[in-house]
Amino acid sequence: MKLGIIGVGNAGSKIVDKMVEFESLTDRKLCRHVMVINTARTDLSKPDHIPDSQRILIGDTHQKAKGHGVGGDVEVGAEVAQNDIDEIRRAFDDVDIHEVDAILVCASLGGGTGSGAGPVVINELQKMYDEPVYGLGVLPGKYEGGRPALNAARSLQSFVNNTDNFIAFDNDAWRSKDQTVGEGYEGMNRELATRLVTLLGAGEYDEPTVAENAMDSSDIIRTLDTSGISSIGYASTSVDKTNGEGLLKRFREDHEIEDGSNAAAKINGLVRRAVNSRLTLPCEVSSADRALIVLSGPPSELSRKGLESAREWIENEVDTVEVLAGDDPRENATALSAVVLLSNVTETPRIESIQDQAVEAQEKIAEQEAVREEEIADLITDSDGKIDPVI
Ligand SMILES: Nc1nc2c(ncn2[C@@H]2O[C@H](COP(=O)(O)OP(=O)(O)OP(=O)(O)O)[C@@H](O)[C@H]2O)c(=O)[nH]1
C-alpha cells in the first residue's frame, strides 16, 4: 500500500518518525507523504526522520497555546486546529493524492493536541479526499488517571466515527514495569511501527514481483473497510541466510523433502503465535469481523501450503469466512514475520474500562467545579450525562 502518514501531537509524531525509520531500515516504500502537526514547538523538533518542511506548528498565536502545547486540554487542541484550518489545508494541498492509496492519522488520545486536533485534521482530510482515512490512536494507561481517560473517551468517539478504520494501541498492555515511562515509549513506538509498516507496506516493491500469493493493497483496504476498531498481532523468527555450512548444510540437503512441510509448519506456528501474542489492543479475537494475514520474509521461506493452513486456522479461530492472506517477499530480509490484522473487534476490555474511568473522572470534575461554583460542566456533559465526542 502507498500511504500518506500524518502525526498529530507529540506521541503521534514520534510514531510517524519511527515508521519512517523502520521503512528505510527495511527498504520498504510505504510512506509516500509524511507530515507532523503540533502545538508545541519543542515537540515538533523531536523527530529524526521528518524533513523540516513537513513539520507544521499550529496555534502559535493562540492565547493559550502560544507554541507551548495545550497542556492536555482537548477543547483547546480542537479549537487551535479549527482556527488554523487554512494552514492545515494548505499543507494538505501538497499531498499528491494519486500517489497514495490511503491516509493514516496517528495521535495519542490522552493528551490535548492529538485528541483535540486529530479529529479536526481527519474531518478535513475526509472532506478533501475520496481515499480512505485511517486513524491510529494510542490509549492512555490506567495509571495516568482520570483526565487522560476522559480525553480518550471523548476523542475515541470522534476518531471512530470519522475514520474508515481505527487501529488502537493500548499503553497499559505494553507498559513494562521495570522501565521509566520515557524508555518504555521508545520501545513501544518501535514495536508499533514494526507492525504498522509490515502490515501496510506489504506489496510495495521497486521491482515487479513474481510471488504467487503476493499481497495486494486492495486486500488490506477491504479488510480495513469496516468502520470499526482494529488490533494487530505480530510474530517473527530469524532466518538463516547462508542456509548453513558444512554439516548443517548436508543435514538440510538430506532432509530436503521434509523441508516443504517444515516450512509450512513453521508458517502455521508463526501465524498462531502472532494471534496469541500481545496484540496492539488486547481483545477477544473471535469478536473480529474480518482478518488479514501478511507473511513477510525471504521468498525461499514463504510457503503457499503454510499460508493456506494458517488462513484456515484463523477462519476457525475467528469464526469468519472473511480471512484474506498474502505474501510480502523481501529478498534481503533476515527474518520471517507474520502480521495479523483483526478488523472491527468489539470485545475490548481496555476501551470499556476507559469509558468507566472517564465517567468517574467526569463526575469528579463536575463535583469539584460545583464546589467552586464554576460553570464549565456543559463543555463535557450532555443533559443526558453521556460523554460527548470532541467534534
Ligand atoms: N505509546 C506512546 N504513548 C505516548 C508517547 N508519548 C506520550 N504518550 C502518551 O500520550 C498521552 C499524552 O499525549 P501527547 O501526545 O504527549 O500529547 P499531545 O497530544 O501532544 O497534547 P499536549 O501535550 O496536551 O499538547 C499520554 O497518555 C501518554 O501516555 C509515546 O511516545 N508513545
Per DSSP, which regions of the chain are E strands? 3-8, 31-38, 55-57, 102-108, 133-139, 165-170, 229-238, 290-297, 323-329, 335-343
Banded pLDDT at 388 (limits 50, 70, 90): confident
Q: In this structure, what C-alpha cell is assigned to residue 134? A: 485511517
C-alpha to C-alpha distance for 362 and 387, rounded to whole angstroms: 8
290-297 sheet: strands from edge to edge = 55-57, 31-38, 3-8, 102-108, 133-139, 165-170, 229-238, 335-343, 290-297, 323-329
Residue 205 pLDDT level (bands cut at 50, 70, 90):
confident
Q: Whose CA is nearest to atom 17 of ligand 1?
A: 111
How far apart, in whole angstroms, are the C-alpha atoms of residue 107 and residue 192? 13
So what's the pLDDT on residue 195? 98
Q: Pick from 290, 345, 292, 342: which is nearest to 321 by CA?
A: 290
Is the model's pLDDT at 383 over the cut of 70? Answer: no
Ligand 1, atom 16: nearest CA belongs to which residue?
10
Q: Kindly tell me if the per-residue pLDDT of 19 is higher than 60.
A: yes
- The domain 230-343 having CATH identifier 3.30.1330.20: the answer here is yes
Q: Which of 8, 138, 183, 185 to mutate to test the pocket of ligand 1 (most atoms within 8 A of CB)?
A: 138
Q: Write the pLDDT tens digit of every residue in 274-321.
A: 999 999 999 999 999 999 999 999 999 999 999 999 999 999 988 877
Asked if residue 358 has pLDDT above 60, the reply is yes
* Contact by Cβ (8 Å): 152, 387: no
Name which residue sits closest to atom 4 of ligand 1, judged by CA.
11
What the block records as the C-alpha cell of 229 is 476498531
pLDDT at 21 over 90: yes
Q: Which of 192, 219, 188, 243 is nearest to 295 (CA)?
A: 219
Tell if the pTM clears 0.80, that is, is over it: yes
251 CB-near residues (< 8 Å, 6+ apart): 244
Q: What is the pLDDT of residues 236-270, one digit of tens each?
A: 999 876 654 555 555 554 554 445 578 889 999 99
The larger pLDDT score, comparing residue 19 to residue 177, is at 19
Q: For domain 3-201, give the CATH number.
A: 3.40.50.1440
Query: What residue segments make up the domains of the chain, in order of their start?
Result: 3-201, 230-343
Closest CA to 354 of 115, 202, 172: 172
Please state the rounded mean pLDDT for residues 176-197. 88
**Which residues are annotated as part of the binding site for GTP?**
112-114, 144, 171, 189
Closest ligand 1 atom to Cα of 11? 15
